[in-house]
Structure 1
Amino acid sequence: MSGLSRVLAGLSLAAWLPLAQAGLFDDEEARKAIMDLRAKIAQLEEAQKKAASQQDVQEQLAVLRRSLSELANQNEALRAELARLRGANEQMTRDFSDTQRRLADQLQGFDARLKPLEPQKVALDGKEFKVEPEEQRQYEAAMGLLRRGEFAEAANAFEAFLKRFSVSGYGDTVRFWLGNAQYGQRAYKDAIATFRDFLKANAQHPRASEALLALANCQIELKDVKAAKKSLDDLIKAYPGTEAAQAAKERRASLK
């Protein structure tokens, strides 16, 4: 039996016992006693309901407080994780930027190292063409020998160049300077052959008139006056108005 039931039973017994012992109550008094008893019972039931309701509310509030505390802890953990992720993202961004800069520097350095190995555009004697770095280096080295008056070494360098780079854009110019190097070392017959090959393939070359004048000079050195006169006459006719043609006229007039 619950506490409330025991209380109600006690109240009922306490209310009815005096009347039962006396046996002297009428209907009106009985109804009044019953109503009083019912009122007390209702009050007790209401009090019990309120107590139970308050207990339920307290329990619910306790659950809510625990849930709120858990949510607060989770929120704090999320904040900490978000801060960590932001820091990691910022670090990744810095690392990525550093990597990009290093890569750009490496590419720039690579391009700088690669550039000397790439073909270079050259403009020479009225035409443009591309040459390999080694091709350009050997040509300039041979020209350096010629400028220093080292004619034999220059001739060898030009001949080696033509063998190695047989289709070079430098080819025509190299043949012209080879003839001059041979002339400089007094290899006149070789120079004549070189100049003739040059003129045969390059009659319109910017240095053709100079080559024909040099050929005539070689013939003069060999005392072949007849051939020299013909070369000078051909020069004056083919390339009038050039400095070489003017020099040819003067040289032609000096020949007997």
Structure 2
Amino acid sequence: MVNPLRSASGLLGFCSLAIAAVWPLQAHAIFGDDEARRAIIELRQKVDKNQADTAAANAEARENAAATRRSLLELSNQIEQLRAELARLRGQNEQLAREVSELQRQQKDVQAGVDERLRRVEPLRIEHDGQAFNAAPNEKRDFDAAMDLLRKSDFVPAATAYAVFLQRYPSSGYTPSVLYWQGNAQYASRAYKEAVESHRRLLRDFPDHVRTPEAMLAMANSQFELKDPKGARKTLEDLAKAYPNSEAAAAARDRLARLR
């Protein structure tokens, strides 16, 4: 028969052994959960920190990108301003170039005008019919114009042009030549009396001029045309006496020989 005490004692021992066996496992489970929680917490903290760092990095990147965009926009605006300023300066440069060109053209025109006025008033050195003298440009022009009329056989206009010349330039160095050619133009237009007066004036005022002997010979021709043979003879005799070595004097002597 089983002893009840021994049975109770055995049961108590069995329970003690069971508790002893289970206790480490429970203790181990309890301590393992804490470590897991700590690991999870640490992992969560790391994730949160990484997320915060990533958010901060993204925010900084966005700020940097915004700053870069602002810098690029400002740089683009500056470039546009520089382009506008360059275009304005180019326009000013082109305008200045046009103004300088216009000023240079005006200066040339002014200089040409001054030169032209100087040419009109500045005396010219003339050598004509063995004489040298100064003459104004318009004086030479008028003389040449009268001579052109004579060369064209426009005798009446030429005689008028010589008369105008003598009135306009009473002290001209051309005067002896003008008187000579005026007399010839008058003779050619059959104004014999006027021709005699022109040649006589040349003889009186310019006896030493190279044209004077020829003028005396022409004057004698006009006197013959005026039916004044006595006057013509005297003119020829005076010519042969005053200018014996001239070609006109030789012609006068021939004429006188035929008149005897």
TM-score normalised to the size of structure 1?
0.56
SS, match of residue 143 in structure 2: helix
**Distance in 2, Cα, partners of 1:114 & 1:163:** 23
Query: Displacement of 1:172 after TM fit?
Result: 1.7
**Distance in 1, Cα, partners of 2:221 & 2:129:** 22
* Alpha-carbon contact 1:229-1:252 (below 8 Å) kept: yes
Verify: 1:124 aligned to 2:149, yes or no.
Answer: no
Runs of 4+ deviating beyond 6 Å? none
- Return the match for 1:248 from 249, 252, 255: 252
Q: In structure 1, what residue type is equivalent to 2:239? A: L
Equivalent in the alignment of 1:161: 165
- Return the match for 1:196 from 178, 197, 200: 200
Equivalent in the alignment of 1:179: 183
SS, match of residue 166 in structure 1: coil
Q: Share of identical aligned residues, percent? A: 45
* Alpha-carbon contact 1:225-1:255 (below 8 Å) kept: no
The correspondence of residues 232-247 of structure 1 with structure 2, limited to 5 A, is 232-247=236-251
- Return the match for 2:152 from 134, 139, 148: 148
- Return the match for 2:174 from 153, 159, 170: 170
Q: In structure 2, what residue type is equivalent to 1:240? A: P
Q: In structure 2, what residue type is equivalent to 1:190? A: E
Equivalent in the alignment of 1:32: none
Q: Deviations over 1:113-162 (max 9, x none)?
A: 35532221101122211111111111000011111111100000000111
Equivalent in the alignment of 2:234: 230
SS, match of residue 129 in structure 1: strand
TM-score normalised to the size of structure 2?
0.55
Equivalent in the alignment of 1:221: 225
Equivalent in the alignment of 1:38: none
Unaligned 5+ runs, structure 1: 1-97
Q: In structure 2, what residue type is equivalent to 1:113? A: E
SS, match of residue 177 in structure 1: helix
Q: Deviations over 1:163-222 (max 9, x none)?
A: 111111111211111111111111111111111111011111111100110111111112
Q: In structure 2, what residue type is equivalent to 1:236? A: A
Equivalent in the alignment of 2:83: none
**Distance in 1, Cα, partners of 2:139 & 2:156:** 20
Q: Deviations over 1:15-44 (max 9, x none)?
A: xxxxxxxxxxxxxxxxxxxxxxxxxxxxxx
Q: Deviations over 1:76-96 (max 9, x none)?
A: xxxxxxxxxxxxxxxxxxxxx
Structure of higher CA gyration radius: 2
The correspondence of residues 59-78 of structure 1 with structure 2, limited to 5 A, is none
SS, match of residue 170 in structure 2: coil
**Distance in 1, Cα, partners of 2:258 & 2:152:** 30
**Distance in 2, Cα, partners of 1:223 & 1:188:** 10
**Distance in 2, Cα, partners of 1:147 & 1:254:** 32
**Distance in 2, Cα, partners of 1:255 & 1:241:** 21
Unaligned 5+ runs, structure 2: 1-99
The correspondence of residues 85-104 of structure 1 with structure 2, limited to 5 A, is none
Q: In structure 1, what residue type is equivalent to 2:163? A: E
